[in-house]
């Protein structure tokens, strides 16, 4: 496809998408596997938040694109790669262990940067997906180590529903995530307006996610087409 046609398509898909998304819901354009020119086109169409799930890819793209892009790291993150991510990402959606959170705090501290983070919960029936359960989150949030962290800013939760056509199941999982979010908010962040994000919904299920209270949808295929 030539560049003009491609730009037009992204613009059109974006406009269509935005029409179905309430004003308060943020769009994270999941640009994994997309080349820099395609991201640039999406930027020109008005998108400012991009999501990547591979550290190498994020680090390679970051310097080649406008500096006012907000990069979100959405993939499973290994502790030995945290250092690279904290220097470029505005938000990490995928905090799935206490050890990871500690590492983010440590590495962010070294460069005196505060990183916004979301706690990823395991809500799907698939065993392969990552994420915390309630007890792990509570243990973390009640610990002295957590209270002493200075360089992370917990902003909410993230979760991925089961990959299935069963919409009722997807809805139930999103609803569960919202309940976890609300419990965390009232138990641990009652006076923190910054704890406000519920990152749920991808191309296949973002409508249900929004109906269930999502504040942040992570959509790739919807905007850029099927990945290779
Ligand atoms: C790839 C990915 C998405 C986007 O998926 P699409 O189906 O292309 O919208 C969202 N969230 C995470 C964590 C992903 O890895």
Q: Which atom of ligand 1 is nearest to the CA of 206?
A: 9
Provide residues with CB under 6 Å of ligand 1. Answer: 30, 32, 53, 74-75, 160, 202-204, 218-222
Tokens of 134: 């309630």
CA atoms within 13 A on the CB side of 64: 11
What CATH number should be reported for the domain whose range is 3-224?
3.20.20.10
Identify the band that residue 53 occupies on the pLDDT scale cut at 50, 70 and 90: very high
* pLDDT confidence of residue 167: 97
Q: What is the pLDDT of residues 83-120, one digit of tens each?
A: 999 999 999 999 999 999 999 999 999 999 999 999 99
Residue 148 Cα to ligand 1 midpoint, Å, equals 33
Q: What is the pLDDT of residues 140-171, one digit of tens each?
A: 999 999 999 999 999 999 999 999 999 999 99
Identify the band that residue 8 occupies on the pLDDT scale cut at 50, 70 and 90: confident
Give dist(CA 126, CA 112) in Å, integer.
37
Which whole number is the average pLDDT over 12-25?
Answer: 90
pLDDT over 90 (residue 57): yes
* pLDDT confidence of residue 5: 84
* pLDDT confidence of residue 224: 92
Residue in 14, 53, 93 to alter for ligand 1 test, most ligand atoms within 8 A of Cβ: 53
* pLDDT confidence of residue 130: 87
Residue 221 Cα to ligand 1 midpoint, Å, equals 8
CA distances from 228 to 11, 76, 221 (A): 21, 20, 11
Q: What is the pLDDT of residues 184-204, one digit of tens each?
A: 999 999 999 999 999 999 999
Output the pTM of the full model: 0.96
pLDDT over 80 (residue 66): yes
Which positions ≥6 away from 32 have C-beta within 8 Å?
51, 52, 53, 54, 57, 75, 220, 227
SS3 content of the chain, % helix, strand, coil (to 5): 45, 20, 40
pLDDT over 70 (residue 1): no
Residue in 74, 75, 95, 164 to alter for ligand 1 test, most ligand atoms within 8 A of Cβ: 74
Give dist(CA 93, CA 133) in Å, integer.
15
Residue 54 Cα to ligand 1 midpoint, Å, equals 12
Q: What SS3 class is residue 151?
A: coil
Mean pLDDT (the chain, rounded): 95
Closest C-alpha to ligand 1, atom 12: 74
pLDDT over 90 (residue 3): no
- Delimit the domains of the chain by residue range: 3-224
């Amino acid at each position: 496809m030539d560049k003009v046609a491609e730009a037009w398509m992204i613009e059109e898909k974006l406009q269509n998408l935005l029409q179905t998304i309430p004003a308060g819901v943020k769009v994270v354009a999941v640009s994994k596997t997309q080349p820099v020119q395609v991201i640039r086109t999406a930027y020109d169409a008005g998108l400012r938040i991009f999501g990547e799930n591979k550290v190498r890819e994020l680090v390679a793209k970051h310097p080649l694109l406008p500096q006012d892009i907000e990069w979100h790291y959405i993939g499973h993150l290994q502790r030995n790669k945290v250092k690279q991510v904290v220097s470029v990402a505005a938000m990490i959606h995928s905090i799935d262990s206490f050890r990871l959170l500690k590492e983010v705090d440590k590495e962010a501290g070294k460069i005196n940067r505060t990183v916004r983070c979301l706690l990823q919960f395991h809500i799907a029936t698939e065993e392969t997906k990552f994420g915390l359960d309630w007890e792990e989150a509570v243990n973390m949030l009640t610990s002295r180590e957590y209270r002493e962290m200075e360089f992370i800013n917990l902003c909410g939760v993230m979760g991925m529903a089961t990959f299935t056509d069963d919409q009722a199941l997807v809805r139930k999982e999103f609803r569960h995530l919202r309940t976890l979010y609300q419990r965390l908010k009232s138990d641990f962040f009652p006076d923190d307006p910054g704890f406000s994000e519920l990152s749920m919904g991808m191309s296949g299920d973002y409508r249900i996610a929004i109906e269930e209270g999502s504040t942040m949808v992570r959509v790739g295929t919807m905007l850029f087409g099927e990945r290779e």
